[in-house]
Each structure stands twice: as C-alpha cells, then as structure tokens.
C-alpha cells in the first residue's frame, strides 16, 4: 500500500472517531489535541471562531467554557445551530463591533481561533498568497477584538505562509509556537501556530 493510501486510511479513522463522538468534522480532534497540550481553556472565557463552518471547533470550545463563557462562530457559509453558541453569518473582513452587541460585555475576546484555508489550486505560490490573505484578515480581527494578554490559534501551510504568520504573531505576542496534531494527515502541509500573551 502506498504512503498516501496509508495516510488517508488513518485520516478516515480520525473521521470515524469524530463522527462517533458527535462532532461535525475531524478538525474537532485536532483542536482537542492542541487544547490539551498548548492552550488552557477556562470556564467563562469568550472565544471567537473564525471560519467556523461546519462547526466542529465551536462544538469543542462549547464543551470547555461552561455556561458563563461564550463562543462566537463567524463564516460566510451558514451553519446548523449549535445550542448555547452564537453565529455571525458574514465575511470576517466585514466584522465590526456592532456585530457583538448581544454580548458586548464579553469582548474583547480571550482567544481568537482560525481554521480557515483557501480552496487549494495546487500551485504553491498561488496557495501561499491566498493563505497569507486569509491570515491578514485574521490578524486584523485579532488587532481589533483580542484582549491584551489573550491568545490565538491560526492554521497555516508549511512554507511562505508559515514564515509570514510566525513573524506576524511574534510581533504581537510574547510567545509563538507551532503545533501539528496527530489528527492531521502526515502528508498534509497544514500547521497550527499558537500565539500567547497578546501585547
């Protein structure tokens, strides 16, 4: 069996595990692993989930923040309601403070998440440029809506977008580190960058 078939077989196993657990995507398992190792979620936190469709990350966060915390998903694709969470149906580039009026006392946020990725063209330079464009959009949200001392988690691709995002986070946060959860396929170029203690 080829390496790629092995990788996708393993990936399918993670998909089955996530479905059995009631999650909407295998990405939920990636986030659970990162939270266990690298980011402490406390009860009562306010968390913004950028590019939240189909809702797998929102589900995981909701499990961890308790009834006094809030999680807000944002996506251009509408999602099926997740009880006890909020959803803003618009592009993250159009977010403004008025969108958060319902829970204005909970912003700025403690944590901003981004699992966004562009539609892959297969052309490395094009894909890097598209990913960097998404990262810039996420950084703009962080600059406007993340509280001082807060944290972020952003998906990037290995290569130019990884270097670009690491530099951007290093300028904004006291610490920055990379993580590749085991639920990511070994042949996947995705990597997650974690920024802690927003300046």
**pLDDT value at residue 167:** 98
Of residues 13 and 124, which shows the higher confidence score? Answer: 124
Q: What percentage of the chain has pLDDT greater than the value 70?
A: 87
Packed helices 3-20 and 27-37: angle between N→C axes, nearest 10 degrees: 80
Report in angstroms the alpha-carbon separations of 16 from 7, 24, 83, 116, 184.
Answer: 14, 11, 23, 22, 14
Locate the domains of the chain by residue range: 3-198
Residue 71: strand pairing partners: 47
CA trace torsion 71, 24, 124, 33 (10° rounding): 70
Higher pLDDT, 183 or 9: 183
Residues 6+ apart with CB under 8 A from 69: 42, 43, 44, 45, 46, 47
Apex 176 CA angle, 148 and 95, nearest 5: 50
Q: What pLDDT is stored for residue 184 in this prediction?
A: 74
The whole-angstrom separation of Cα 153 and Cα 31 is 9
Active site residues: 155
Residue 124, both tokens: 């490395």
Q: Is the dihedral of CA 67, 68, 69, 72 positive or negative?
A: positive
Bond preceding residue 108 cis, omega within 30 of 0? yes
Helices 27-37 + 56-65 axis angle, to 10:
40
Structure token pair of residue 181: 């959860």
Pick the CATH number of 3-198 from 3.40.50.720, 3.20.19.10, 3.40.50.150, 3.10.520.10: 3.40.50.150
Q: What is the pLDDT of residue 5?
A: 36
What is the per-residue pLDDT for 23? Answer: 63
**Contact present, 158 and 128 (Cβ < 8 Å):** no
- Mean pLDDT of all residues belonging to the chain: 89
Residues in the chain, how many? 199
pLDDT digits over 139-167, tens only? 999 999 999 999 999 999 999 999 999 99
Cα torsion 24, 28, 30, 36 to 10°: value is -170
């Amino acid at each position: 069996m080829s390496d790629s078939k092995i990788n996708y077989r393993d990936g399918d196993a993670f998909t089955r595990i996530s479905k059995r657990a009631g999650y909407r995507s295998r990405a939920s398992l990636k986030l659970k692993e990162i939270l266990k190792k690298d980011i402490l979620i406390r009860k009562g936190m306010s968390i913004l989930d950028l590019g939240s469709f189909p809702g797998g990350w929102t589900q995981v966060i909701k499990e961890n923040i308790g009834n006094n915390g809030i999680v807000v998903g944002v996506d251009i694709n509408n999602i099926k309601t997740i009880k006890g969470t909020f959803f803003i149906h618009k592009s993250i580039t159009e977010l403004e403070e008025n969108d958060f009026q319902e829970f204005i006392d909970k912003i700025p946020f403690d944590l901003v998440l981004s699992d966004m990725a562009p539609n892959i063209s297969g052309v490395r330079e094009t894909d890097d440029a598209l990913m960097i464009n998404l990262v810039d959009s996420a950084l703009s949200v962080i600059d406007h809506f993340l509280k001082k001392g807060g944290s972020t988690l952003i998906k990037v691709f290995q290569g130019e977008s990884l270097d670009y995002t690491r530099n951007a986070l290093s300028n904004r946060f006291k610490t920055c580190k990379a993580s590749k959860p085991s639920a990511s396929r070994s042949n996947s170029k995705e990597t997650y960058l974690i920024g802690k203690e927003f300046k």
